[in-house]
Amino acid sequence: MRLLAVINYFVFLPSLFTPFGITLSVIHVVVATTTDGRNLRGERKALKDFIERDKETRGMNKKKQIQFKQSNKPKIILEEKKNSLSIREDYRTKISESSSIGNDDDNDGVDLDDVSDEESKRWFVQYSRDVDKEKIMKSSHAVREKLSSSFLNDRNIMVVEIDESNLHRLSNENVIISAQRDGRVEATGSIRNVPLPSSSNNARHLLEEIPWGIKMIQADQLDVGPHPVKCCIVDTGYALDHPDLPTNNVSGDNSVRENWDWKVDLNGHGTHIAGTIAALRNNSLGIVGAGEIPLHITRGLDDQARGFESTLIDAIEQCIAAGAKIINVSLGGNTMSENSREFYSRAVKVDGVMIVAAAGNQGAKIHQYPASHPDVISVAAVYSWGRFWDKSNYSDQVELAAPGHGILSTTVTFAAVSTTNFSHRAVQVDGTRSRNQRGLLLDCGSGNYVCGKSDNGTTTVLPGRQDGGICLMYRDHTHLNKMVQNCEDGGGKGVIVFDANPALSSSTINTKSKWTRSSLSVVFVPMEVGETLLASFIGTVTSIGFHDTKFDPKPTHSYAYFEGTSMAVPHVVAAAALVWSYFPECSNNEIRYALAITASDQGKKGCDWDYGYGIVKAKDAYDWLLSKQKLREPCGSGSWGQPLKEGEGGCNVV
């Protein structure tokens, strides 16, 4: 049963009319509670309708259709005002409903309101004179400068790591025109299940498999046309030597500000994206991608799948320079600077590219960026049966939906578990610590109690006996976050997780919640590997290894099921590339229009906040454009697919 209440929150908001730039306001926030903790779709719809009715009674304008709450941590923006700099508090905002749809531990999204030390010091800083640039450089810890001409350099904007005290001092000396925080972004896809080679599943990868997502978007019904369209993937890199990925018709650029190599992927996220778009066909191996689509790879994210707004700007500029027309951005953050807003608008409206980004995985009514920029296509995720994925974000900017749950594709694995006369590949749970660990292997059951140290290697006890061990846990009904916490509370060094129940092997490994800040190394192994360890190796010295010659430092080219809106994005990118390859005369806006008007409507009739216009369908979009040609209303006729007005996106495309 879900209870609704309207609560008045007193919130300090920026104001230009008070001495301290702050005024006290009252915000009405709708809070939803549930007795069983479930996020029931019907109840959420009812909540959404309730919120909308409540807003309408207050006459809220279109730009304020989402209720916000105040974040704990403000960010300071320095901005120009009458030839001098003023300082104001600009609070990060998240939609208040996100905190009421369940416990944070069940949220698949990272809490980006927790600003890291590195992020808190990283800024876009604009200057006017070269002498001012020198002063900024001398006052900074590090300068992330790009030498070639770029959107930022052309505007005299530097990316620096600098203390706020120095920003204030430089602003008082009229050295800085403006300063905006260089916001953090992260990948929005996570490991779900790993079909590593074994006696039970080795055969499945001897012959090609067509993932269900390829079929759902009709990529199996449409080959690449006579005018192939280059797609650019901005991510963690590309495993160039993966046997199921193309080496021809693939190019790339290394990061210009960071030491990131495009043809190396030490994470696997970018390689998974690439497989959905372009995994090889007719090679009797692995999976089938959407088609022989030309790729360009750039690095917007590091090996931990994290980056900044500035690294995205650089990477997308490289995509455009390489001739890419569609850009895959399977990542996001909670904020967007004005520099980024201007950049994305220019890329779409001036350079004519299509940018497709992930709506996010918090399962909340929330704007994630760059997806929620109106010129960017925001993509939500669906299950294999077409229903909205519960952890996908929903908002007025969602435009399309695509497969995003249990997506099988190419990836790399680096971790391994090893004990006496036995070793096996493992997959690191994304975001956890890459630290080699060694200790006695402990039977910690389903992880529902404190476990982590042993007196004799066979009996688990409370903390205080010898050094910590390696917790072997089977996943049954205990939440993974709790399992890891119980091992950490018990003094354990690392966790090896496997699914005891085959029916649960499709359950989510939550890789983006707060426990990933723990000091433990956490890996996932197939069920049969966990059962072998449980039956024969409890009490023996066991190791979890990462990037160590003892465990083979080279990545294993493998396959994995991922989930997230990250996985939905390449399905839309692939569909757009297939369709556009037949109609090169079409603009980015016209292809965008065709994808939206032919999407398979789901949920509430018409465009809605969950699915947008619906699930993308490549063949249907192709047929629609062909019919427009026959009706003498082709691309360029001006009768449809015109550029959107400023600020329009989401359900305003058609």
Q: Which of these, 507, 433, 445, 499, lies nearest to 472 by C-alpha position?
A: 445
Paired with 136 in beta bridges are none
User: Is there a contact between 278 and 289 (Cβ–Cβ < 8 Å)?
Assistant: yes
Report the distance separating Cα 574 and Cα 35, nearest Å.
42
User: Is there a contact between 188 and 265 (Cβ–Cβ < 8 Å)?
Assistant: no
Active site residue: 235, 303, 375, 620, which one? 235
Q: Which of these, 530, 535, 522, 523, lies nearest to 501 by C-alpha position?
A: 530
Q: Which of these, 34, 38, 41, 45, lies nearest to 5 by C-alpha position?
A: 34
- The two tokens of residue 632 are 């003498």
List CB contacts of 65: < 8 A, sequence separation 6 or more.
Answer: 52, 55, 396
296 is a catalytic site residue: no
Helix (H/G/I), strand (E/B), else coil: 535: helix
423 is a catalytic site residue: yes
**Position of tokens 């009458």?**
82
**Torsion angle (degrees, nearest 10) of CA 426, 429, 433, 437:** -30
Cβ count near 554 (within 10 Å): 10
Assess whether the previous peptide bond of 19 is cis (omega < 30° from 0): no
Active site residue: 345, 423, 434, 507, which one? 423
Helix (H/G/I), strand (E/B), else coil: 570: helix
Strands (DSSP E) contained in 305-434 are 306-308, 326-329, 331-332, 354-358, 377-382, 398-403, 407-413, 415-419, 422-428
- The two tokens of residue 394 are 């929903």
**Position of tokens 């090896």?**
496
- The two tokens of residue 493 are 């060094």
Strands 190-193 and 556-563: antiparallel
List CB contacts of 366: < 8 A, sequence separation 6 or more.
Answer: 94, 95, 98, 334, 360, 393, 395
Q: Which long-range contacts (CB under 8 A, 24 or more apart) does 144-147 make?
A: 144/257, 144/258, 144/310, 145/257, 146/256, 146/257, 146/314, 147/256
521 is a catalytic site residue: no
Active site residue: 242, 269, 405, 571, which one? 269
For the annotated catalytic residues, the residue numbers are: 235, 269, 423
